[in-house]
Structure 1
Amino acid sequence: MRLIARLPTLLTNIHIRRYSSIPMAAPSPPVIIAGVGPGTGASVARRFATTYPVVLLARNPDNYNSLVEEIQKKGGWAKGISTDVSDVGSVKAAFEELEEIAGGGEGKGKVAAAVFNVGGRFIRKPFLELTQEEFESGWDANGRGAYLFSKSVLPLLLNSTDLTYPPTLIFTSATAALRGSALCSSFATGKFAMRALAQSLAREFGPQGVHVAHAIIDGVIDIPRTKDWHFEKEDAKISADAIADSYWYLHTQPRTTFTNEIDIRPYVEKW
């Protein structure tokens, strides 16, 4: 009876010891991936998690919870943080937590790589029918979001030039960054801004040892959302896992051979 009476206290103590023993900081400099869902972001997370701890950012925790659990079950280290990259307060709060995960506050943390995989809303609509909110949504995600993320993560990347591979900042982009198609002014405006930012950052921070790359994904990615999209060729879609392999290739390039822009498209894509 005494044991039964003490059981709630014993279980509470076990619970506290179990979770207090898990360190807040990652075991080594992590990789930060913003924009994690069931497609490209998840594939990139899985690929980098084979070597690094990964921190996954997404507005909706449902987009990363199962992935965090999957990586942990395989012996990796993963953590998710709910973040709206277009909101300065949300990004600030996320990176205050990231500083601790990455090895301590006061600007001392290190990050091995960072991937900005935020697409934003894809609005296909005649320009004269676009509301201001719809037009600005492209800039919010790909312009302001990329700026806030880069501003926060670059100090951590600059601390990491002594790691095995050069610290890397990769932007997931699209053909819309090169040309604005009809009915896609919102999306194209945001992607143009992202590409300009990536080019400027590559020229400024490349000489300081940080590899900045802009990845143009030209085609339909094979993800759950496009499962029912059928093409004449079975392999007409881009493999999300292959995109992740390309990002790993960019990350492991030595400083003597930085690729600052890469095109990724299926062999049947017209361009």
Structure 2
Amino acid sequence: MPLLKPLAIIAGVGPGTGASLAARFGRTYTVALLARTSGAAEQILASIGGDGIAVATDVTDPVSIAAAFGRIREAYADRPLAAAVYNVASRVKKPFLELSLDEFESGWATGGRGPFLFSQHALPLLLTAGASDTAGAYTPSLIFTGATASVKANAESAAFATQKWAQRALAQSLAKEFGPRGVHVAHVIVDGPIDTPRIREMFKGVDEKGLIDPDAIADAYWWLHTQDKRALTWEVDLRTGVEKW
């Protein structure tokens, strides 16, 4: 009887990085794709062969994310969790004095409460997989998507930078706490615009040399996941060769 494939859970699946992550991890694992609405995630799942599940999830809502993980456990109770990726963000660019409290707190919910809830559900499964040595050849991994604003807060980015700094701090703390327990926690700074249809529509005529390839981003996540257990990276930054930094 063939061995069942391990599972990868990816939160924040849509055109761009999320779709590329689903495709890259889906080559090796069964994937559970979380998105605010399941339609786009189901299309992506179908495009990569359909080995997995798409679940409509509000990652900032404790009830919704608990239900999502419950559905995943019900569908794949016998699958160890090999990797979990938090790829969710909400961006508001606005002068600070025009920023509403709701806009500010919405950003914090995505970058603070969301990764907190996701991690609390994912880490027990990753720990179990690591302890039982059933996650496959690689260290069970929890990976977060960051941005330029994770380390550099620009003008009119108070809401976005605050959430990204909070998420980076959480990732660093988790890496130090759970690394010794067999879970590789990593943070990826995506420093620049990603090559998606939305970005190309927003910046018509943009030179693609300045756009980060989402498939290459996904390859970097896979590289992090497959690192040797004695040489693990906590943080990596990705940018094009022409990006000013």
| TM bracket, shorter-chain basis | over 0.9
> Does the residue aligned with 1:235 lie in a helix, a strand or coil?
helix
| 1:103-182 correspondence to structure 2 within 5 Å | 103=77, 110-120=80-90, 122-161=91-130, 162=133, 163-182=136-155
Task: Report what 2:234 is aligned to.
Answer: 260
> Does the residue aligned with 1:103 lie in a helix, a strand or coil?
coil
When the two structures are superposed, what TM-score results if normalisation uses the length of structure 1?
Answer: 0.85
Q: 2:17 aligns with which of 17, 33, 40?
A: 40
> Does the residue aligned with 2:210 lie in a helix, a strand or coil?
coil
C-alpha contact 2:200 2:206 (8 A) present in aligned 1: no
The number of aligned residues is 238
Task: Report what 1:207 is aligned to.
Answer: 180
Structure 1 counterpart of 2:170, which letter?
L
> In the TM superposition, what is the alpha-carbon distance from 1:233 to its structure 2 partner?
4.2
* Aligned-pair Cα RMSD in Å: 1.5
CA distance in structure 1 between the aligned counterparts of 2:198 and 2:38, rounded to whole angstroms: 18
When the two structures are superposed, what TM-score results if normalisation uses the length of structure 2?
Answer: 0.93
Q: 1:222 aligns with which of 192, 195, 220?
A: 195
Task: Report what 1:249 is aligned to.
Answer: 223
Task: Report what 1:18 is aligned to.
Answer: none
CA distance in structure 1 between the aligned counterparts of 2:110 and 2:27, rounded to whole angstroms: 28
> In the TM superposition, what is the alpha-carbon distance from 1:227 to its structure 2 partner?
1.8
> Does the residue aligned with 2:13 lie in a helix, a strand or coil?
coil
Consecutive unaligned residues of structure 1, counting only runs of 5 or more, are: 1-25
> Does the residue aligned with 2:109 lie in a helix, a strand or coil?
helix
> In the TM superposition, what is the alpha-carbon distance from 1:231 to its structure 2 partner?
6.4
> In the TM superposition, what is the alpha-carbon distance from 1:61 to its structure 2 partner?
1.4
CA distance in structure 2 between the aligned counterparts of 1:226 and 1:158, rounded to whole angstroms: 38
C-alpha contact 1:57 1:83 (8 A) present in aligned 2: yes
CA distance in structure 2 between the aligned counterparts of 1:234 and 1:213, rounded to whole angstroms: 27
% of aligned pairs identical? 53
Q: 2:38 aligns with which of 52, 58, 61?
A: 61
1:235 aligns with 2:209: yes
CA distance in structure 1 between the aligned counterparts of 2:65 and 2:206, rounded to whole angstroms: 42
| 1:60-79 correspondence to structure 2 within 5 Å | 60-72=37-49, 77-79=51-53
1:234 to 1:91, Cα distance in 2 relative to 1, 3 A = closer
C-alpha contact 1:160 1:166 (8 A) present in aligned 2: no
Structure 2 counterpart of 1:80, which letter?
A
> In the TM superposition, what is the alpha-carbon distance from 1:63 to its structure 2 partner?
1.9
> In the TM superposition, what is the alpha-carbon distance from 1:100 to its structure 2 partner?
2.2
CA distance in structure 2 between the aligned counterparts of 1:232 and 1:221, rounded to whole angstroms: 12
Consecutive unaligned residues of structure 2, counting only runs of 5 or more, are: none
Task: Report what 2:159 is aligned to.
Answer: 186
| 1:17-36 correspondence to structure 2 within 5 Å | 27-36=4-13
C-alpha contact 2:22 2:45 (8 A) present in aligned 1: no
